[in-house]
A and B are shown apart, each in its own frame.
Chain A
């Protein structure tokens, strides 16, 4: 699986106009903008699914099972229970995106807190936090996610908990290393010499300079989280039927690959699309924030 510890650009002492220039660079980046538009479309469609005039994603029928793509009234066909695929794919985005995004957000908050604390306080606190995260980093990510979900049992909440636990240690590690680096930089010493309190140093300097790189790193985890979250459902360790969710749909449609192979492949295509989207946006963000370029 994807390695979770990738190098992160260190942004040093951004000037006043830094964020504005990052924004401008992003707007000029066509690939990133296309991805942003696609992702926003999928996310908004998922949120406003009930107002799009779609068929009921739970309502099946034995008679119209596994209709092919393009059947009038069923644009993307029907699944193994005769439910409208288009509706289920759009509604499926709700749970899939939720399971993909929430763990990264949770881990961003928890991991940054732990990492910044470790980096700023140092000493025993640092050792305690970092050695604990080393233990969790000693597990391959998929194995850890599967083991925790397997132990807690199937369920959306359990998937989110297990993925959060998977992502906290790498984020904490990045946060710690960036904080340590920033703390030792000249401008922090200068601030300290000019009599600024610790809190001011944390707030103004460290947070400003630290959260950016962590954020960029966290965005690169979204795609991993989407794939893993849906993967847990695919194994039967996440969402339970009959909820529409891409990973679970992929699982239940596997029996149909001899009858309607392309319908069976559709939910995975959604995961793929969203995953590429987030990866490219994350790459775009990374290069836009990299001042060296």
Chain B
């Protein structure tokens, strides 16, 4: 098992390197001038050349990559072209906001998913099961950005109960865990939670169903184990897989928050990505993509390691 863990850890290095190459080349194959956000549409060729030089875009691409990677390893992603602010500072703040949102969504999704999944698994093939299954299919099928819009329409426009957009009455820097601020988190977090909820429901339902149908459960019952005891047994057996699934889902939510953040003007990595794309701010774009991808790589690693630790038989 130790050998596996070391191999798995070492494998992260080439993957991370390859991911950084992909990030960099993706951003650089892009057509269009990287300085478009700060150059006026009628800039002279001379001005364009002068600006390219002062931003280092006149260097050969591999050289640019080397310089960028060397600094990125030290946590320096360069300076945003549009704002002149350090990219790492922008990402740092945005990651905090997105993590907050994604964790809230994961919490909701996991709780509801486990609930629906358990109920469905316990009452397999009854109407309760069918309701839970339907909910899970709706969860994985709904275009979540549309669900966000519908929730805004219902709970912010038609019924003025919750604020439609933003991260608090002030800025996200003033965030506090009181109602005035938390009401801003509700709609985006609920919207974001539907996919993990659907997937967790599916997984837990299958797990619970499998465990309950195994013969030893009958044997346990025959031995006089109470329903509560059986329930504990089920939880113990289902928990590792469910936690694995939700761990991966957190990674998907972090990387995929752009659509929801756009709907709710949430000042996280998705909004940053959006701004970077439309302003063609290359340093900001490649930095944000890299950080999000690295989160995902590390989460995958953690999930694998955790899984191996819980169940040493799994060694893919």
- Direct touch of chains A and B (CB < 8 A): yes
CB distance from B234 to the nearest CB of A (A): 21
B199 lies within 8 A of chain A by Cβ: yes
**Which residue of B is nearest A253, CB measured?**
B149
User: How would residues 257 to 293 of chain A score, 1 for a CB under 8 Å from any chain B CB and 0 otherwise?
Assistant: 1100110110111011001100110010000000000
Q: How far is the CA of A152 from the CA of B153 in the complex (A)?
A: 33
A138-B293, A139-B293, A231-B145 known; A236+B278 contact, CB < 8 A: yes
B254 lies within 8 A of chain A by Cβ: yes
B110 lies within 8 A of chain A by Cβ: no
User: How would residues 110 to 140 of chain A score, 1 for a CB under 8 Å from any chain B CB and 0 otherwise?
Assistant: 0000000000000000000001001110111
User: How would residues 2 to 43 of chain B score, 1 for a CB under 8 Å from any chain A CB and 0 otherwise?
Assistant: 000000000000110011001100110111100000000000
CB distance from B167 to the nearest CB of A (A): 19
Contact between B150 and A265, CB atoms less than 8 A apart: yes
Contact between A272 and B143, CB atoms less than 8 A apart: yes
A230 lies within 8 A of chain B by Cβ: yes
CB distance from B99 to the nearest CB of A (A): 14
Chain A residues with CB below 8 A from B180, complex form: none
Stretch at the interface among A49-57, A83-91, A142-150: A142-150
A142-B256, A265-B150 known; A279+B143 contact, CB < 8 A: no
CB distance from B209 to the nearest CB of A (A): 14
Contact between A254 and B143, CB atoms less than 8 A apart: no
Q: Which of A142, A236, A257, A276 contacts B157 (CB 8 A)?
A: A257
A138-B15, A140-B252 known; A257+B152 contact, CB < 8 A: yes
Chain B residues with CB below 8 A from A141, complex form: 252, 255-256
Which residues of B in the span 223-257 have a Cβ within 8 Å of any Cβ on A?
245, 248-249, 251-256
Contact between A135 and B259, CB atoms less than 8 A apart: no
- Residue with the highest number of chain B CB atoms closer than 10 Å, among A3, A262, A264: A3
Contact between B137 and A279, CB atoms less than 8 A apart: yes
Q: Which of A3, A143, A152 contacts B248 (CB 8 A)?
A: A3
Q: Which of B26, B27, B138, B259 contacts A142 (CB 8 A)?
A: B259
A159 lies within 8 A of chain B by Cβ: no
Contact between B141 and A146, CB atoms less than 8 A apart: no
Interface of B: prevailing SS: helix
A237-B277, A257-B153, A261-B153 known; A146+B258 contact, CB < 8 A: yes
Contact between A2 and B277, CB atoms less than 8 A apart: no
Chain A residues with CB below 8 A from B150, complex form: 265, 268
Bin the interface of chain B by size.
35 or more
CB distance from B261 to the nearest CB of A (A): 10
Q: Which of B23, B32, B142, B256 contacts A140 (CB 8 A)?
A: B256
A242 lies within 8 A of chain B by Cβ: no
CB distance from A33 to the nearest CB of B (A): 16
A138-B297, A151-B29, A151-B30 known; A258+B157 contact, CB < 8 A: yes
Contact between B296 and A271, CB atoms less than 8 A apart: no
Chain B residues with CB below 8 A from A143, complex form: 255-256, 258, 273, 289, 292-293, 296
Chain A residues with CB below 8 A from B255, complex form: 1, 139-143
Chain A residues with CB below 8 A from B144, complex form: 227
A39 lies within 8 A of chain B by Cβ: no
Chain B residues with CB below 8 A from A26, complex form: none
B158 lies within 8 A of chain A by Cβ: yes
Contact between A271 and B149, CB atoms less than 8 A apart: no
Contact between A268 and B296, CB atoms less than 8 A apart: no
A235 lies within 8 A of chain B by Cβ: yes
**Which residue of B is nearest A235, CB measured?**
B262
A250 lies within 8 A of chain B by Cβ: yes
B300 lies within 8 A of chain A by Cβ: yes
CB distance from A164 to the nearest CB of B (A): 15
A140-B252, A258-B157, A268-B150 known; A2+B140 contact, CB < 8 A: yes
Chain B residues with CB below 8 A from A140, complex form: 251-252, 254-256, 292-293, 296
Closest 6 CB pairs of A and B: A140-B255, A268-B146, A142-B256, A150-B277, A143-B255, A1-B256
Other A-B pairs, 16, CB within 8 Å; known A3-B252, A139-B296, A265-B150: A131-B14, A138-B300, A139-B293, A140-B252, A141-B255, A141-B256, A152-B29, A231-B143, A234-B259, A237-B277, A250-B145, A257-B153, A258-B157, A261-B153, A276-B141, A279-B137
Can you list 25 A-B pairs, Cβ within 8 angstroms, ordered by A?
Answer: A1-B195, A1-B255, A3-B245, A131-B14, A135-B19, A139-B22, A140-B256, A141-B256, A142-B255, A142-B258, A143-B273, A143-B293, A147-B289, A150-B30, A150-B276, A150-B285, A223-B141, A231-B259, A234-B262, A236-B278, A264-B153, A267-B146, A268-B143, A271-B143, A276-B138
Which residues of A pack against B, CB within 8 Å? 1-3, 131, 134-136, 138-143, 146-148, 150-153, 223, 226-227, 230-231, 234-237, 250, 254, 257-258, 261-262, 264-265, 267-269, 271-272, 275-276, 279-280, 283
Which residues of B pack against A, CB within 8 Å? 14-15, 18-19, 22-23, 26-27, 29-32, 137-138, 140-147, 149-150, 152-153, 157-158, 195, 199, 245, 248-249, 251-256, 258-259, 262, 273-274, 276-278, 285, 289, 292-293, 296-297, 300
